[in-house]
Each structure stands twice: as C-alpha cells, then as structure tokens.
Amino acid sequence: MMGKSFSRILIFTVLTAISTTLAAQVRMVKGKVTTLEGGKSVEMPGVNVVIVGTSKGTTTDIDGSYSLELADSDKELSFSFIGYTMKTVAIGGQTVIDVVLETDTQQLEEVVVVGYGVQKKSDITGSTANVKGDELYKQPVLTATQALQGKVAGVQIISSGQPGSSPQIRVRGVGTTLGGTTALYVVDGVLTDDISNINTADIVDMNILKDASAAAIYGSRGANGVIIITTKRGKEGKLVINYNNSVGFRQASNLVEMANSREYSNYVQAATGSAPPASSYNTNWYDVILRTALQQNHNISLSSGTDKSTYLFNVGYLTDEGIVIDNDFKRFTMRLNNEYKINNIAKFGFQGSYANSVNQNGFNNLNIDAFGSVGSVYNDAYRAAPFIPSIVNGKYGNTSSYQNVGNPLLDIKNNSVKVKEDRIQGSTFIELKPLSWLTVKSSFGVDVRNATNRVYNYQFESDESTFIIAGGNQRNPQSALTVQNSQAARWVWDNTFTINKKINNHEITFLGGTTAESFESSFISASRKDVPADPNLWYIGVGDANTSQNNGGGDAWTRNSYLARLNYSYNGKYLLTATVRRDGSSRLPSANRWQNYPSVGLAWVASREPFMQNQKVFDLLKIRASYGKVGNDQIDSDSYTNVFTINLPYAFNGYNSSATNGARKDQFKDTEIVWEITEEFDFAIEFGILDSKLTGEINYYDKKVNNALIFKGIRHTILDIDHNVVANAGVIQNKGLEVALNWKDKINENLSYTINANATFNSNNVLDLNGGSPIAGGGVGSQGPVTNTNVGQPVGSFYVLKTIGVFNSDADVANYVAQNGKIIQPTAQAGDFKYQDLNGDGIIDNKDRQYVGSYQPVAYFGLNLGANYKRWDFNISIYGNVGNKVYNGKKGVRILGTDNIEKSVVYSRWTSANRSQKEPAANTGNLPASDYFVESGSFVRINNLTIGYSLPPALLTRARLSSFRVFLTSQNLFTFQDYTGFTAELPGSVINSGIELTAYPTTRTIAMGVNIGF
C-alpha cells in the first residue's frame, strides 16, 4: 500500500517537475503540513499534496513543507497521508496554505492486540486473524465463539444447539488426546477457558493467535490457539445510548423421521415374528418432546467520556427456551468499563462484567439417573413404539411395560435440573508512560464463578396413578434431591514494560514482563431422598436424613512466568519478532517445573521494496515464516503426584454397622511427565491486488506434538485400578493449508459489497505412540468403543467392522467361508449383514475392526457476503465442512426387536423381494459396531442470513434519534447434509466427538430486531 503510494508520488513529482518547466503561466503556493501529537504540533513529511482534478502534485519534505506551482484553473488542493483524514482546501488567492491533518481512527492502520501489547497488523510475523465484534453480534447466538464459525481460516467451531452450551473450538486440528483442546481465551487480559458469560454486544474484536510464533507469548497455554477478546470502551464525546434487541423463534433444523404405527407394526412383525398390539395411536415422539422455542436478546448501553475519563455501561438480557420442552436458558449480563487519565503520564482503567445465568433442564448438564439421565430422553424418543400414546388425560403411555424403554415425555417430566451461575470477571490496570519511548503497565484481573446445580427426581410408581396401564421398569419409588455448589476463582497479575524506539528506518519494540496466576476451585454436594415434590421444599434439610450423602473436593494451582518479545522493523520491509516465555507451574514436579517457549518470526514486505514500485499487480505482498514452541497445560493437577484413593470402605461387621473407611494407592503415576509441547512451523504469503480490492492470505503450517500425553497400558500385575499410566509418549502431527480471500468493492455511492471466503485443509495424523496403547473412545451402548487413536490414523478415528453386503440366502451364509474352512458367520440368516473377516480367522470379532475415517474434516470453509444498497444492508454467511465421518449412534442403541426404526429403513430394508445390499432385513437390533453406522459428516450450511434497513437521517432528526435500524435475521437457515441424523455437527472430547447419541439437534433461528441509537 505504502509502497504504491510512494511510487505514485514519485511519478507525480517527476511529472510535475517536467510540466512546470513547460508551463507558461505560473503562480506558487507553499505551506507546512503538521499534525497534533500529544498536544504538540508535529511536522509531517511525505504528505501527498495534489491539485484536485489534475494529476499534478508533490509531497512534503522532512520538515513538512511543500511548494507547488499552480495553473490558473487550479481551484483546490488535497492533502492526504495514510492514517489521516484527507483534507481539501480551496486555494483562492492564498499563496501560503498551512494544514493540520487529523488522525483518522477509521483509516489508521489497523492495530491488533497480540498479547501483552498491540502491534500494527502489517508488522505481524505470525499467523493471526481478527474478527470485529459487529460481525459477531449480527448473529443471534449466545457466544461469540459460535458466531466465529466460518469467519476465520484454521479455526474450527463445533457447536450444539443446546441453549447455554459453549461451542468447541479447534485451532488447526487437535494435537492431544488426553489434554484439553479448548483454545485459551484472554478477555481484557483475564485468562479463561469459557466465554459464555461474555455478552457479544460488548466485544470490540476477537483476535485469534493461530500459530506457535504468535501464541508463544502465552507459553504453556498456547498450544490450542489463543483468542484475545477486547471489550468496548467509552469514547470521548456526548452521551451515546444504544438499544438493541432481537426476538425470534428456534426450531430443529433437521428432523429424523421415524416409522409410524403401521410401518412400525410391519417391521416388528418381520423382525420378531409377532406383531405389536393393535392401537389407534400414532405417536411421533420427537413431536412430543420438541417444540418451537422463543429466543430474545436485549441490550442497552450507555457510553460517554471527556478527555480525562471515559465510561461504557451495558446491560444485556438473553432468553433462549431451547427446542426440547421444559428447557429454558436465561442470561443477564452487565458490564462497566472505565478509563481515567490521571495526567499525561498515568492512565488507570477498569473493565468489569457480571453475568448471571439460569439453565433449566439443560440436557447433558448432569447425568443423574433415576430412569432419566436427562440425556436418555433422546435414546428413548428414538426407540419408543409409536402405537403407544405419550399422555392421555394426565396418564402416560407405558412404553416401558411393553418394550423396556422409558416414555420420553415422562423422562423429561420426572426430573428437574437447574443450573445457576454467577460470574464476575474483570481487570484493572495502571499504565505509566514516563518517557515517550517507555510504557510500564501493571494489570490485575479476576474471574470468580459460583454455580449451583440442583437436580430433583420426582417420585412415581409404575402403577395406574402414573400410567394408562401399570407395569414396567420406568419408576422412581423414592424422590431424590441433589444439590451441588461449586466455585472457582482465579487472579492474574501482569507486569510489563514496553520500549519503543524509532531510529531512522529502524523501529524496535521490546516487551518484557512477568505474570503470576493463581487458581482455586472447590465444590460441595449433598443429596437426600424423600424430598416432597413441591419446589419450595427442594432443600437438602427437608429430605430424609438417613439417606443423606455428601461429597466435596477442590483444585488449586499457581503459575509464574517471565516473558519477552522483541519486534524489529526495518523501514516496514523487514520484520522480525522473537518471543520467549518461561513458564513455571505448581502442577509439575519441582525438578522439571520450568519450561521455555521460544519462537521467532520473520517477514518481508516485498511490496515496499523499490523494485516492486514499478509493478502494477501487487499493492501488498508480504511473505512470512515462523517457528515456535507452545505447550498444553490442560491436564489434571495431580497427574504426576502419587496420591491415595480414599473412601474405599470395608463393612467388617456386615450390615450391622457402617463400614470402616480404607485407602489404597490406586493410580500408578509416571512422576516424570511434562506438558505436551507443540512445535510449529508456519509459512504464509499475504497479498493485496487490484487496488487492494482483493486481499488475501495463504498459510501453510506444520505442527507436531512430540510428547503428547497418552495412556500407556500398564501390566495388570502392577497396582493401577484402570491399568493405564499417563505418559508423554505420543507424536501427533497437524499439517495444513489455509486460504483466506477478501474482496471489497464500492460500485457506486449506493452500492458496496464485500466477499470473504476462507478454507482450511488439515491433515491430522498420529505418527507414533512409543509403546503407548491405542486409545479407544466413543462408547456407544453395547457396541462398546467405536473410535480408536492409533499410529497412522487421525486422532479419534472410527474403528469398526466393515459390512460387505447382505446375505441373500442361507446358501450365501454357508458359502461365506474363511481360508481355514470355517463358516464365518454360522448363525447368520438371509438378510443379515455380511462382515469382512479382516484377519481371516473365520470369526467375526473386534480383531476384524478397521479404520473407516474420523470426525476430523479434510477441509472446512466459510463464505461471507455483505452488501449495502442505499439504506439496506444484507449479509449471508455460509459454513461448510467436508471429508469427515460421523457415527449414527442413535441407530446403535437400538437393542430390542420392539425398538422403533427410521422410516427410511422400513422401506429400504432387505427383503426377499428387495435384496438391498446396504440395509439388512428387519432385525432385533444389537448390531455390532460397523460402517453401517458411519456416515458422511460433510455439510454446508447457511449459518446466517440478515437483512437490515436503516432509517434515513431526515427521519432520524425528526425522531431525535442518531440511528435506527430494523433487521430480520436467520441463524442456520438451511443445512445441506448427507447425514441422515439430526446434525453432523457433534461436539465431544477429541476421542469421543462425531457420535450422535444424545446430541441436541442443531436449531434454526428466525428473529427480528431493532438497533436504536439515541
């Protein structure tokens, strides 16, 4: 950009010089261009001075002065400089025109937060991405993380439709199996792992540090990427009041259609030989438990300030009913951000937020079973027979007496699960600038959470008071109440100094500092039985003391770090960033407690080279490369310490007296483990062409974890209750390519538009386990684990039997023989699946399982279009995910002949007339884990579609408003997917994700709202 301008200036200057010598009539104008910097007038060299309407002009020299020869026809002069508002001055009769340029906050070269400081975007040598809060807030979703989906290359967001849930974020693949994969969030300097408390309306921008070089400043926290969130500040000027709202509804975006009574009856008859009883009911159990839900979001913000202080106050209220009946989520948030300028040297600031959330029957929050881990409702809705009514005259249909499956409606109605959370998060800082080149900052942040989970299981019997027909296993003879209170508090204290010096073409910024962090958490829980059903009696003290149980525990750790970063720029062309962080943690044994995380990044802004000034292709061409190390500290605090398992009682005197308490050393620990360290190499090209209408970035990365923590199976002759030790033995690699393109154009005064497209290709691979055992995960009912993490495969690959057709006849069965002459599936019948006998031993068992893909996508992409036409604005975001697999676990939990079946299966199943080779004959379930359950996880979704209209200024003035916009928005309007289940977007821990078992269906939201500025 700069380079091009300079080249133009150069050409202009030459042309001007030539033209002046040829011109006959000349008059001169001269002057000085200055700007205000810290209250002082500063001369501005290099300012572009152009005679409006001509190609003539000049640039100011070192002391900001210029002179120009003018023709008679010349009327106006324009003064421009990057980052400053262009000024146009009428010449008239003046011969001296002095101009003061003002910095343009819009045009000022983008500065991004890079961790403990800011940096000009063009100077960055690592891989980062920046997303503006406005763009996130447009979407009617709970957290900014979810709104980030499809916006940034290299950042995969996996979210569920569940109100109040935090989406999962995976930056450039996953490099761990046992450690956490959550990115580190830094909210105004406070480190956290969950931002569901942050009102998206409060966010100025999110800056994502993707590669090891950018994240190395966060050392052992950086391996999963870092997301820095800056919240809004007040601005100098008059009081600004904004009110925003949106009100809309949500529904399941995709439903699975189950067989109706007639189809069910035929299928069950075929599967079991006996038809279910005749019935006039035809229950669609999903209709019974799902609904259209209301969602609302309201925000009021006030902000203002003087040159001494600014403030911003925001109150938000969000409700989200959730599409499963009885589910309800509410969140109230409040934020106050203040800044005070004490004098020219000292600045003091405070950012604080309070969030209160209440989640009623938030499914999967707690798995408490009294015939209802609430999540079981999904299994039950899938399996329950359609000929049984859900509820008639207040009495429930008895699915359990007929088929041993709970009535899904009763599953919901017999439990009440409420989670309340209060959270205070904030930071305060003092910043001193004793010298123009030195900034010293101390900032102290806290994050305090207090949550209460209350679970009540109603008492009911499987008799006629509850059910239409008595009997069955769905009953809870004793009511039960469980209350858990948990709290967590952390503080982080950062002390940094920054030196910034510019000497001629050399600019050096050096950051040094220390940080200390402390975390403490604890929980206490209690439960009693026989608590009356009245909610105002849901207190532990009301229950039967003879049934009381309690528990409690806690965690604490500290961390101390030193950090340093050097940025060097030569003329904005050659850039170097060198970072080192030294992290010490209480969680590692003192001998290997301290670890260093170095990184280095280099960049060359080729477009600023003189030889590039004559080309017309690139406005920007930047090449950068970086290398760095980061760590993943998301492992348990006691991972290396030998502790005893307590509460292992023995009832010496039988039932006569309470048991004696005992202890055992149940875990064998590798006391020498260290954190997982990721080494990453990153190479990228950034460019801008066609007058920067098209900008883009292509990034290649290769990151490797050489000491991934994995389970190492330990001989069972060693005392270790689960026969595994955690050891640094795995090698996991993620290699990938990211492409991001931005097109920005203004066709005329009325129409402008932007297109942003990004795509990420990632290849994840376990390179070695070094004697560790493959890690099985993803348990699906009686099928057992369906994923395996092993050498040569992506983490969490599906590992199942392979179907090779369906037996058409008994002769087919008899002819399916192994080399050793054994009939491979002797008990199979015509219509049963034929499985591949991989090892050729003539037996189909777990040894015949093979890898059939993983949940990790080959590629994911986003396409975002925005357009403004007159006062209309239009936005569409598309997100897609291709090349991965999902496991239809719902099908896998079909374990009885009387379980319901998907409608499509009823018609596509194998029969002697329709010899399907894909779908077996009517069966009684209990099929082993096979590729039958593995489906394509690819999908493309219209994530968001928004149309807005802003009132014209004339109307606004009359209404005394500064802005007024109405909009209609839809989240997840449409999904194109091959998958036959609810959703192919299935969060879970690395080795358990991609399995649809009790997944909350992805929802479609349609909402409208207003944004009003007063």
Partner 1 sequence: MKKIFFRRNVGMAIIMLLAISCNEDFLNVKVQGGVTNDPALVQKFVTGTYNSLTQGDCFSNGDVHGWGFISVTCTISDDADKGSTAGDQAVPIGDLDNFTTTSTNKFCETMWSGHYIGIGAANETLNLMNTASTPLAQKKIYQGEIRFIRGYLYFNMVRMFGDVPLVLRVPKNLKEAETDPVYATRAPKAQVYDSIIQDLQFAVDNLPIKSQAVAGHVTKGTAQTLLAKVYMYLGDWAKVKALTDAVIASNQYSLVPDYATIWRQVGDNNAESIFEIQTGKFNNANLKIDNYIVSQGPRVGGMGGWDDLGYGFNNPTPDLINTYETGDLRKAATVIFIDNSGTHKGTTLWDGRRIPSSDSVQNLYYNYKAYTSMTKEEFANKLDKDRPKNVRILRYAEVLLMNAEAAFHTGGDVLTNLNKIRQRAGLAPKGSATLDDIWKERRLEFAMEHDRFWDLVRQGRVGQVLRAAGKTNFVDGKHELLPVPNSQILLSGGKLTQNPGY
Evaluate whether 1013 touches 242 at the Cβ level (below 8 Å): yes
- Return the CA Rg of the chain: 33
670 near partner 1 (CB under 8 A): yes
Rounded Cα gap, residues 808 and 160, in angstroms: 40
665 near partner 1 (CB under 8 A): yes
478 near partner 1 (CB under 8 A): yes
Output the furthest CA–CA distance in the chain (Å, rounded).
120
**Residue carrying the six token digits 């374990």:** 895
Instruction: Find the shortest distance in angstroms from Cβ 217 to partner 1.
Output: 16
Evaluate whether 538 touches 456 at the Cβ level (below 8 Å): yes
Among 28, 533, 556, 804, binds partner 1 (CB under 8 A): 556
Instruction: Find the shortest distance in angstroms from Cβ 848 to partner 1.
Output: 12
Binding to partner 1, residues 490-509 (CB under 8 A): 493, 495-497
Among 38, 93, 238, 650, binds partner 1 (CB under 8 A): 650
Query: Where do runs of H (alpha helix) occur along 320-463?
Result: 376-383, 399-403, 408-413
Among 671, 809, 820, 839, binds partner 1 (CB under 8 A): 671
Instruction: Find the shortest distance in angstroms from Cβ 454 to partner 1.
Output: 19
Among 95, 306, 592, 661, binds partner 1 (CB under 8 A): 661
Instruction: Find the shortest distance in angstroms from Cβ 715 to partner 1.
Output: 5
Binding region for partner 1 (CB under 8 A) out of 32-40, 103-111, 447-455, 845-853: 845-853
Instruction: Find the shortest distance in angstroms from Cβ 540 to partner 1.
Output: 13
Among 719, 804, 814, 959, binds partner 1 (CB under 8 A): 719
287 near partner 1 (CB under 8 A): no
DSSP letter, residue 591: G
Query: What are the tokens at 263?
Result: 């189809």
- For residues 736 to 775, the per-residue mask of contacts with partner 1, x marking binding by CB under 8 A and - elsewhere, is -----------------------------------x----
Rounded Cα gap, residues 640 and 590, in angstroms: 11
Binding to partner 1, residues 390-419 (CB under 8 A): 401-402, 404
Binding region for partner 1 (CB under 8 A) out of 121-129, 180-188, 609-617, 650-658: 650-658
Q: Which is nearer to partner 1, 40 or 715 (CB)?
A: 715
Instruction: Find the shortest distance in angstroms from Cβ 714 to partner 1.
Output: 6
Separation of first and last alpha carbons in the chain: 38
Q: Which is nearer to partner 1, 94 or 514 (CB)?
A: 514
**Residue carrying the six token digits 């690139």:** 618
Q: What is the DSSP string of 856-903?
A: S-SEEEEEEEEEEETTEEEEEEEEEEES-EEE-HHHHT--STTS--BH
DSSP letter, residue 277: P
Q: Which is nearer to partner 1, 790 or 943 (CB)?
A: 790
Instruction: Find the shortest distance in angstroms from Cβ 545 to partner 1.
Output: 9
Q: Which residues pair with 741 in a beta bridge?
A: 696, 757
Binding to partner 1, residues 136-175 (CB under 8 A): none
Residue 841 C-alpha from the chain's centroid? 45
Rounded Cα gap, residues 199 and 195, in angstroms: 9
Q: Which is nearer to partner 1, 158 or 531 (CB)?
A: 531
13 near partner 1 (CB under 8 A): no
Instruction: Find the shortest distance in angstroms from Cβ 369 to partner 1.
Output: 12
Among 715, 748, 821, 958, binds partner 1 (CB under 8 A): 715
Q: Which is nearer to partner 1, 81 or 371 (CB)?
A: 371
Query: What are the Cα distances from residue 844, in Å, to 546, 823, 840?
Result: 51, 10, 9
647 near partner 1 (CB under 8 A): yes
Evaluate whether 411 touches 374 at the Cβ level (below 8 Å): yes
Among 651, 804, 817, 955, binds partner 1 (CB under 8 A): 651
Instruction: Find the shortest distance in angstroms from Cβ 680 to partner 1.
Output: 27
Rounded Cα gap, residues 639 and 594, in angstroms: 16
Task: Determine whether 99 is exposed, middle or buried from the number of CB atoms within 10 Å of its CB (0-12, 13-18, 19+).
Answer: buried
Instruction: Find the shortest distance in angstroms from Cβ 40 to partner 1.
Output: 16
Binding to partner 1, residues 569-588 (CB under 8 A): 584-586
Instruction: Find the shortest distance in angstroms from Cβ 503 to partner 1.
Output: 21
Rounded Cα gap, residues 798 and 751, in angstroms: 49
Instruction: Find the shortest distance in angstroms from Cβ 390 to partner 1.
Output: 21
Task: Determine whether 213 is exposed, middle or buried from the number of CB atoms within 10 Å of its CB (0-12, 13-18, 19+).
Answer: buried
Residue type, 92: G
Rounded Cα gap, residues 676 and 733, in angstroms: 13
Q: Does residue 542 sit in helix, strand or coil?
A: helix
Binding to partner 1, residues 299-358 (CB under 8 A): 345
Among 10, 488, 516, 961, binds partner 1 (CB under 8 A): 516
Q: Which residues pair with 80 in a beta bridge?
A: 48
# of chain residues touching partner 1 (CB under 8 A):
95
Q: Which is nearer to partner 1, 569 or 579 (CB)?
A: 579
Query: What are the tokens at 382?
Result: 């899938």
Among 11, 18, 239, 648, binds partner 1 (CB under 8 A): 648
Binding to partner 1, residues 580-639 (CB under 8 A): 584-586, 590, 593, 637-638
530 near partner 1 (CB under 8 A): no
**Residue carrying the six token digits 């528990």:** 551
Query: What are the tokens at 462?
Result: 């499987």
